Structure 1
């Protein structure tokens, strides 16, 4: 008698699961094998060593893997064909932005749930987003770095951003011709750029769970960037709050309605969408960008703290073709706060307040499990994660990977959350040798 093949899910970017463990927790608890497709990097190799030596680690649930690049379609399908002989593949998902299009190819090949061709293709390219979603976009032009004269068509200040990067990489406000000349060498000669009207105002995101083309859940989150907070030239996210606190009910409703129209335009079918918006000073909303995958940073954890249940559970149910629901009861207000830090060499981070001590993520590539929150819980620090290594060189924060670390907090109200954030900041000491501020690694 033949033994039934084990159910499995193909997880692109799986070696990021140490930072986003909720996906594998759900799959492991429901007896799914995890089949990993990811890019080979020194960090991925280090995580492989952990996977082999620590089966209890979240990465230990990976039963098979292949290294490949986002454009290796043939290699991906060859791996899939091999795995289909041993596993009953029920779902496909990507954690990483780089694999959005390839995961769509694989899902279509296997006839499994996915965001859909239009959604995956448009969401992967910011220039396509501007054309397909021009109704909700700021004024823009598509440029190349070598065509400097063409940038004069839009008045200063404006924003320049690469069409296919993520994590705020290469996104900069240009205030004059000197600023443009300083910015352009940071882009490849053949890199497609967006030149956009600068929108000065508050920033928000909308996370949406979609199944069968219908929105099951949407929520507005609030963000704080080093541009809005410090007035610099970059737009790196330095805090997220779920749900957003500093917007009116009317503005919230407008964002959710616009987000619904955008998902309809994209013919978004199954998965999660992460859309980013800004309101200008006249309260007009503009789409900044949209992704056909889960949000980065710690937003997934914030939804768990705010709603009392992991959003990854519902997302995995969607991509596995199972009935899904989420967000029936809002319990808390949750926030992730990134640490400000000067340039220099990191020595240590100390915390003298109540709650968990800072830990260095790269020591174990694992995160503590978050509790099931209750409305009556006191304001709480839940996690304090340092993303850089001891002795690592810190630089000016120009993109997400430059950030030192963060902490996660939640409270019954926004006012209590603000008080908790302030008290935690006062109790943090980051020891950084600034004599190395201008030295390379």
Structure 2
């Protein structure tokens, strides 16, 4: 607390998952602001290790001025903490990089009169059913499982296969395929006493995400990321790869994806922040919305922006939250993240063969995802990071959701053709030993 009569130090409130907060903390400190961080109680080993580094000299988490553990659903507690901080600090900006804190961050920005995504966007983006109601123009046919059995069966008749989605979860948790009416009826019986889920037509087509920085209601930067999932080999929808910028679509398709994203954000009255929309381009060329989030993308997509554009997109997002001009560069390289499939069992070791200078980085040992260094636009293809997301000895199971993935690689190239060829090199080089 500053002495009586002293000026309050300028600060920024960051709602985040600590292991991925490093670049935000760096950007906040670079603007002369203190970092006030709200996160959930650590549940996973990675989160527990991350907390142990808070305040440690030389570590990115040294920049955390204050850290509070609060459940995302405890809005009263969060706003009470915000009010207390506002008495001691001159709070200049608010931002949520964590899905679960999108609504509390939106409420915080509204309370303090600061730029934020807006109350409608925060609420709708956290509920898949509300997304279908507000954004029906871009959405597949869907119905809540809590509707009458006749309503569900009629609405979804002849639209198989279907997808069942929890309303407010993420990372593909709880998502499953229902291939026929018999599977749907069985699923409805299983759900009889459970929380409602969204049942909708499964659409086939190439999948993309669109990341957009919005300032004062206007998109100031937007790019399209190509997706790879395991849906063709399983009944799940785990994302197994991202490519930025997307290289399996035409310029017209990319422009229409960005236009659809802009229209969706306008319908949501999206104010200031970053949006991550997931879409499919259907065989007939139509654009369909899978879901929209009022926060940055997950996985290593922000790292891909660093590699592809040569600049920190986290820094640009912080500028937007502070009401500063945003001038993020367009991609000048192609960057890709891939996740490796694995045999279920106990994780013993990771090796990288034939690519000198890259050692596996065991994320759990360090408490954070490391930064990546971009190459010059014309540099040859390069493997930048191999990240191990599980601890040694961890039990690896089937890839049913994003939390099941264990090893990932980040690499980039000056053109798409070289990127595809280098992809094969990387997959051959990384070896996972499981017992």
Tell me if TM exceeds 0.5: yes
Residues 80-229 of structure 1: pairs in structure 2 closer than 5 A: 80-144=82-146, 151-153=152-154, 154=156, 155=158, 156-177=160-181, 179-180=183-184, 189-227=193-231
Q: Give CA deviations for 1:326-384 in whole Å, capped at 9, x if unaligned.
A: 12x42100001111112111111111121411111000113433223311111011111
TM-score, structure 2 normalization = 0.93
Cα distance in structure 1, aligned partners of 2:352 and 2:209 = 30
2:376 matched residue in structure 1: 374
CA contact (8 A) 1:361 1:367 kept: yes
Q: Give CA deviations for 1:224-251 in whole Å, capped at 9, x if unaligned.
A: 0011xx4311111100000000011221
Shift of 1:283: 2.2
**Matched position secondary structure for 2:66:** strand
**Matched position secondary structure for 1:101:** helix
Cα distance in structure 2, aligned partners of 1:263 and 1:249 = 21
Q: Give CA deviations for 1:78-103 in whole Å, capped at 9, x if unaligned.
A: 11122123211111111111111111
1:60 matched residue in structure 2: 62
Unaligned runs of 5+ in 2: none
CA contact (8 A) 1:305 1:372 kept: yes
**Matched position secondary structure for 1:263:** helix
Q: Please identify, of 34-43 and 336-345, the stretch whose mean Cα deviation from structure 2 is larger.
A: 34-43
| Distance change in 2, residues 1:274/1:280 (3 Å) | same
CA contact (8 A) 1:170 1:186 kept: no
CA contact (8 A) 2:38 2:68 kept: yes
Shift of 1:2: 4.8
Cα distance in structure 1, aligned partners of 2:179 and 2:37 = 44
| CA RMSD between the two structures | 2.0
Residues 15-414 of structure 1: pairs in structure 2 closer than 5 A: 16-43=17-44, 44-52=47-55, 54-144=56-146, 151-153=152-154, 154=156, 155=158, 156-177=160-181, 179-180=183-184, 189-227=193-231, 230-327=232-329, 329-354=330-355, 355-414=357-416
**Matched position secondary structure for 1:422:** helix
**Matched position secondary structure for 2:100:** helix
Q: Give CA deviations for 1:147-178 in whole Å, capped at 9, x if unaligned.
A: 66654331321111111111111112211355
- Of 12, 16, 21, the residue aligned with 1:9 is 12
Cα distance in structure 2, aligned partners of 1:178 and 1:226 = 24
Shift of 1:118: 1.1
The count of residues paired between Structure 1 and Structure 2 equals 426
| Distance change in 2, residues 1:26/1:345 (3 Å) | same
Cα distance in structure 2, aligned partners of 1:405 and 1:112 = 39
TM-score, structure 1 normalization = 0.92
